[in-house]
Amino acid sequence: MNRPASLEFRMPADASPLGFRQRPARVLLEIEGLRKHFTRDDAPAAVERVGLTVGEGELIALLGPSGCGKTTTLRMIGGFEIPDAGTITLRGRDITRLPPEARGIGFVFQDYALFPHLDVLANVRFGLRGMTRAEAEARAREMLRLVGLEELAARRPHELSGGQQQRVALARTLAPAPPLVLLDEPFSNLDTAMRVETRQEVRALLKKSGSAAVLVTHDQEEALALADRVAVMAAGRVVQVGTPDEIYRNPANAFVASFLGRSNILAGNADGMDADTALGRLPLSRAANGAVRLAVRPEQIMLEPDPDGPAAVVGREFRGHDQLYWVQEGETCMLVISGPGAEIETGTRVRLRVCDCVVPLS
C-alpha cells in the first residue's frame, strides 16, 4: 500500500535540539561539539556538532536511522576514531585523544568478539589486570553468576546460543567494573523473541553493575524500552534528548514524531493553546501561534462509523492486537489505530475524532 503523503516528513535544516538543558545530577561523560568528516570532498560530515551528557549509572540510547552517525559517535567515545573537532570528558578528564585502552571504557562489539579457543570463564577473565590469578578467577565467576551462566563456565563460545554469547560478552566487559560501557546494536544478532527478553536482562544487569551505558540502536521500540534517556540522531546530529516518555509525547520536530512510533503530520493555524485544522479545532500540548505543523498519534484518533461522515476508510491492516486504518478526509489522509473489536470495512464512511492534545512541531 502506498504511504499517504501526510506521513512523509522533511528534516528541517535548523532543527533545534530540545532537551540539552537536562543535566544529570552526577555527570560522568560530557561530549561537546563532536565532529567527524571521513572524506575530503564537500559531502556532509558523518557526525556534526554532537553534544551529550551522560550521568553516573545512566543508560542512554543513541537512536536514529542507518547511516546517521551513531556508530561513528560511539567509536569516538571509545577511542577507535579521533574526532576532527570537539571534546570528550570522562569524570572531568579530557580523553578526546587517548587510545582506547587508556580510557577505562568497556565496549561490547556487535559480533561479541569472543575468543573461540578460550572457554567462557577464560573469556570473562581475559580483561582483568592487576589481580592475582585467583582474584581474577573469583571475579570472573562472580560476573558469570551475575549474568546467570555460572554452569556454562567450561563451554566454548560455539557451544552457546546467541543470547548466551551476548551475556558472556557483557560479563567480560563488565568484569573490570568500567564506569561506562558502549554497546553497538547489541541485539541485532538475536531473533525477535530473544531480543525482547534479552534487552530487559541487559538493562537489569547494567543497573545491577552500576556502570553507565551508551547503547546504539536503530530500533525505536528497543530504545524506548531500555533507556533512561534517548538521544535521537538524524544526519549526523543529535536532534532531541529526553526520557522515552518525553520524546514520545513531545517530539521536537516531524522527524522525531515519525521515527518514534508513527505520527500523522497535520497543517494547522494556532492561536495559543488551540489550532484550527482540517479535523476541526484541536487542543495543543504547548502554546503556539500562526501556521504550524502538528503531530497527531494514530492512537489519539477515534473512528466513528457514520453514513453522513466526511471521511472514508481507504485502507486497513489487521495486526492482531489492534487494527490500522488509513482514512481519507478531503485532502488529508490519516493513519488511525484502534483496539480490537468491531472491524470497519474499507469504503465505510466515518467521522474522525481527535481525543487528546496534539503536538505543535518546531
- Residue 71 touches Mg ion, criterion: CB under 5 A: yes
Q: In what order do the strands lie in the sheet with 27-36?
A: 47-55, 27-36, 85-90, 93-94
How far is 172 from 188, CA to CA, in rounded Å? Answer: 19
**Does 38 contact ligand ADP by CB under 6 A?**
yes
Report, in Å, the least distance between residue 224 CB and ligand ADP. Answer: 18
110 or 269: whose CB is closer to Mg ion?
110
The entry of Mg ion, ligand ADP, none that residue 67 binds, CB within 5 to 8 Å by partner kind: ligand ADP
Task: Report CA-CA distances (Å) from 264 to 32, 81, 248, 308, 360.
Answer: 33, 38, 13, 24, 12
State the binding partner of 115 from ligand ADP, Mg ion, none, CB within 5 to 8 A by kind: none
Q: Which of 18, 50, 68, 140 binds ligand ADP (CB under 6 A)?
A: 68
Which region, judged by CB under 6 A, interacts with ligand ADP, from 64-72, 89-97, 206-214, 257-265?
Answer: 64-72
Which range of residues in 9-17, 60-68, 86-94, 201-209 is near ligand ADP by CB under 6 A?
Answer: 60-68
Instruction: Identify the residue among 54, 70, 292, 294 touching ligand ADP (CB under 6 A).
Output: 70
In the beta sheet, which residues pair with residue 18?
240
The residues, ordered by sequence, that sit 6+ positions from 28 with a Cβ below 8 Å of its Cβ are 54, 55, 56, 57, 58, 90, 91, 179, 180, 212
Residue 305 backbone dihedrals phi, psi, to 5 degrees: -60, 135
Tell me the number of residues near ligand ADP by CB under 6 A: 10
Q: How far apart are CA 127 and CA 147, in angstroms?
A: 17
Query: Least separation, in Å, of the C-beta of 72 and ligand ADP?
Result: 3
CB of 262 to ligand ADP, least distance (A): 21
Q: How far is the CB of 32 from ligand ADP (least distance, A)?
A: 19
Residue closer to ligand ADP by CB (options 110, 269) is: 110
- x/- track of binding to Mg ion for residues 185-224 (CB under 5 A): ----------------------------------------
Between the CA of residue 57 and those of 21, 28, 102, 106, 215, what are the distances in Å? 19, 8, 20, 13, 13
In whole angstroms, give the CA distance from residue 193 to residue 26: 35
Reduced to 3 DSSP states, what percent helix, strand and coil does the chain have, rounded to the nearest 5? 25, 35, 40
Nearer to Mg ion, 64 or 179 (CB): 64
